[in-house]
């Protein structure tokens, strides 16, 4: 869990017993205004709106969270983050981009490409197979992107408009 307030913390909870949730760690990670978090294996992938960053944290030992890597490449207001395989996909709100990063080496994030989403404030993000689904904030629109070539993601099917679709976050 990330802390949106000025505390800039990453908190880890043991939820193995839903009737007794236990705080395992709360650590200052020096990220201002976290946008989203995605946990995969022993890593947490966090976006920071104010710092314009994607950060990777090793959370295998909750008592000692380690910053592995950060990048600001192609990011302007990063919001949503989704990890699939060796790639992290990030929506960049202010630049209206879908950005792709190679995270196969957690110590070094490599920007692979980006595409303009054509959406106002892209936030909602889900990746399944070779497609990325991106929804715009309060815009009643989403788009699908084909991910066959991670260096140059291609627009797939066109925009869909759905009445009263109001995506706030992932």
Quote the Cα angle for 89-81-97, to 5°: 55
pLDDT tens series, the chain, 170 aa: 444 455 677 888 888 999 999 988 877 777 777 778 899 999 999 998 888 899 999 999 988 889 999 999 989 888 889 999 999 999 988 888 899 999 999 999 999 988 888 888 887 888 988 888 888 876 667 788 888 766 666 666 555 555 555 555 54
Which residues, 6+ apart, have CB-to-CB distance to 13 below 8 Å? 1, 21, 22, 23, 24
d(Cα 74, Cα 53) in Å, to the nearest integer? 10
The pLDDT of residue 6 is 52
pTM value? Answer: 0.84
Here the tokens at position 115 are 């595409």
């Amino acid at each position: 869990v990330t802390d949106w307030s000025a505390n800039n913390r990453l908190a880890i909870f043991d939820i193995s017993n839903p009737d007794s949730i236990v705080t395992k760690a709360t650590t200052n990670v020096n990220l201002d205004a976290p946008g989203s978090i995605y946990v995969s294996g022993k890593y947490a992938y966090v976006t920071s709106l104010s710092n314009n960053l994607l950060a990777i944290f090793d959370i295998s030992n909750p008592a000692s969270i380690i910053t592995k890597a950060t990048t600001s490449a192609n990011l302007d207001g990063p919001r949503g983050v989704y990890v699939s395989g060796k790639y992290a996909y990030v929506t960049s709100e202010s630049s209206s981009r879908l950005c792709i990063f190679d995270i196969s080496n957690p110590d070094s994030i490599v920007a692979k490409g980006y595409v303009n989403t054509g959406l106002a404030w892209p936030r909602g993000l889900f990746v399944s197979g070779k497609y990325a689904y991106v929804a715009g904030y309060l815009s009643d629109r989403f788009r699908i992107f084909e991910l066959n070539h991670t260096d140059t993601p291609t627009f797939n099917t066109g925009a869909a408009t759905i009445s009263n679709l109001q995506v706030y976050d992932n």
